[in-house]
Structure 1
Amino acid sequence: MEETQLKRIANFLLSNIPIGDGVINEKRVKVFSGKLAVEALCSPLYLQKCKKGVPITNEKEALEVLSNLLEEGFYVKCKRSGNTRYFEPDVSREFTKEGFYTWVYEGSQWMTILGGVLLLLLAMTFVMFPLWPYTVRNGVWYLGMLAVGFIVFIMFLGVVRLILFVITFFALPPGIWLFPNLFEDVGFFESFVPLYEWHNSSVENVKSKRE
């Protein structure tokens, strides 16, 4: 099997199977289950995302591919030391569904390199801020003030809605929340909808979203 094909499969597994943190010889490692790897390669998602990889139609073919990855050193086999996150190296070179494996291959490094370059460019840009044209510096200053003003506005709004809730909690129980979704995990515009809501209905909405 070609190395490029193996890398495509390894990249797919890195992105599509649960990976846990483990410790081997006091070193943190990424651990995954053989069973989940087999299930991932036998799933329709593999055929969709890895069209140029090796076609896999059953569990036997999946085990053969995973054994090749093990032999080529993309990961190594390990065994759990008790019911903990600590593992020990396993000298066995046979890939099994019941086994655990730690990644040696780290995947494509292009995103890491790109992120480093962008971070360096961003740092250089701010270091050279005094050399920017006056109009650009002035525009950045106004944008910064706008961002600070927005943060102050949100803090002020948070205090106002809390005061309103405390007052209405005693005057009009169970109390009214102004912008009930303001601090919820929703989109920007959804944070300001609806305008107000009774306390009980707000709690029920949050529970339904979590479920």
Structure 2
Amino acid sequence: MSEAVPQGNPQTALAVASLLRRNKLLKQRYGIFQSRTTDFFRYKRFVRALESPQYKKKSSNQPDLYPAAATEAEARLIFITLIKSQIVIPVKKLHSDELKEHDLSPSKDYPHLLPSKQAQLTPDEYYVWNYNPKSFWDYATVVAVVAGILALVCYPLWPMSMRRGSYYVSLAALVFLGAFFVIAILRLILFLVSLIFVSGGKNQGFWIFPNLFEDCGILESFKPLYGFGEQDSYSYIKKQKRLKKRQAKKAKSNEKN
């Protein structure tokens, strides 16, 4: 029988949070909490992460920092430690009809989250992280920014070959930016013309690069080459995938009932 986890122990809480913060078993999603996007997860997913081989290995090697979670009671104690240390915060996911009650505007991409007054530790209860450890890329970004500033400050000391190279790079960037604005204006003109002469005003106009201004990656912004209406847009496809998942969950719940 393992020893009880001391509630509120900051060392244990930080160690467990650092290990499981990006664990795939949490199946984390983005939500809007206090006007910013953050990861949130269900309590039952955290319990599954405690049962992972990664955590069990750490627990066997360093039981003081990573307490055993062989039973549900032990898992609850570990999670209470994180709550006491304010590393995780219980939240409630709002439905669309509840947004007006809290003066919140709906978001097509992320659900709104509100803090709960009390943690119940039920399987489907939601929690957000109040802990974001720095990654390698965070430090690399800081180093790159500082190096870039120092390089610009020392521009008068650059050899002529480097100055000439920077000139060509800046010129290429201006050409790319100009081409982007030309494409944006051209696609808008084609869309308006297609609304009038092709679709008859049914809002199914022709787009070139329908994902150009969508919230997606750089390569995805230029795929596909063309499309009609919003059916080929990244946000619409993402919305349809979420709708299919909801319908599948409802169908499963109906079958069980």
Pair in the same fold by TM > 0.5: yes
- Does 2:209 align with 1:204? no
SS at structure 2 position matched to 1:184: coil
Q: Residues 189 and 77 of structure 1: is their aligned pair in 2 closer, same or farther, counting only changes over 3 Å?
A: closer
- Separation of aligned partners in 1, 2:205 and 2:182: 19
Q: Is the 8 A contact 1:169 1:175 kept in 2?
A: yes
Which residue is 2:58 aligned to?
Answer: 52
- Separation of aligned partners in 1, 2:48 and 2:85: 21
- Does 2:195 align with 1:169? yes
**Amino acid of the residue matched to residue 239 of structure 2?**
R
Q: Is the 8 A contact 1:161 1:178 kept in 2?
A: yes
- Percent pairwise identity: 24
Which residue is 1:179 aligned to?
Answer: 209
SS at structure 1 position matched to 2:69: coil
- 1:103-182 aligned at under 5 Å gives the runs 108=133, 115-173=141-199, 174-182=204-212
How many corresponding residue pairs? 189
Cα distance, 1:205 vs structure 2 = 3.0
Normalised TM-score (structure 2): 0.52
Cα distance, 1:77 vs structure 2 = 10
Which residue of 75, 98, 102 maps to 2:86?
75
SS at structure 1 position matched to 2:232: helix
Which residue is 1:25 aligned to?
Answer: none
Q: Is the 8 A contact 1:74 1:103 kept in 2?
A: no
Which residue is 1:39 aligned to?
Answer: 44
- Separation of aligned partners in 1, 2:191 and 2:177: 21
Cα distance, 1:46 vs structure 2 = 5.9
Normalised TM-score (structure 1): 0.61
Q: Is the 8 A contact 1:56 1:62 kept in 2?
A: yes
Q: Is the 8 A contact 1:40 1:46 kept in 2?
A: no
Q: Is the 8 A contact 2:89 2:115 kept in 1?
A: no
Q: Is the 8 A contact 2:208 2:227 kept in 1?
A: yes
- Separation of aligned partners in 1, 2:19 and 2:184: 44
- Separation of aligned partners in 1, 2:120 and 2:147: 46
- Does 2:88 align with 1:64? no
